[in-house]
A = this chain, B = another copy of it.
Amino acid sequence: MSGGVEWALHCCVVLTSVEEPAPAARLAQLHDVSPSYLAKQLQALSRAGLVRSVQGKAGGYVLTRSPELITVLDVVEAVDGPGPAFVCTEIRRRGPLAASPESCTAPCAIKRAMAGAENAWRDALRSVTVADLARDVTSDYGPGALAGISAWLGAAEA
């Protein structure tokens, strides 16, 4: 799994508490990560339609919709790609005892098992929204945490 997923999720949580667009460079120094690479993850979120980029002097990124409507799965798929992690290469059709094509209409048992597990994983990620994460953060560190971050993002460079 791509490590950029973690960065993207943290950024989404932070973006729930701001109204002004937040520049990628500022989000990067807030989390102390590579600005150029974080930019790439935010671009992925933008391509997926989760955030909207505002260009120009006071530009940056903003969420496109309510955090209640953005699931963790949305973010993960935007950054890591929507395809399944396990890819079946159909090796049952290869080799001297290859299965006949007409017997391969349904996916093989191994693919079914792996797909079932990935579906369970997806369901779990889909059941958590970015709003839930923000609520948990407030519950963990107190109400001042996100407010402080919001203020810091709006203030001049540290």
**Contacting residues of chain A (115-145) with chain B, CB-CB under 8 angstroms:** 116-125, 128, 132-133, 136-137, 140-141, 145
The interface residues of chain B lying within 8 Å CB-to-CB of A7 are 91
Q: From DSSP, what is the main secondary structure of chain A's interface residues?
A: helix
Q: How many residues of A contact B (CB 8 A)?
A: 56
Chain A 4-15 near chain B by CB (<8 Å), digits 1 or 0? 011101100100
Q: Are B140 and A95 in contact (CB under 8 A)?
A: no
* Copies per assembly: 2
User: Using Cβ atoms and an 8 Å threshold, which residues of chain B touch A122?
Assistant: 117
7 contacts between A and B (CB under 8 A): A13-B109, A30-B95, A30-B97, A109-B136, A109-B140, A117-B125, A121-B124
Please report A residues at the B interface, Cβ cutoff 8 Å.
Answer: 1, 3, 5-7, 9-10, 13, 29-33, 72, 85-89, 91-92, 94-97, 99, 103, 106, 108-110, 112-114, 116-125, 128, 132-133, 136-137, 140-141, 145, 148-149, 152, 158
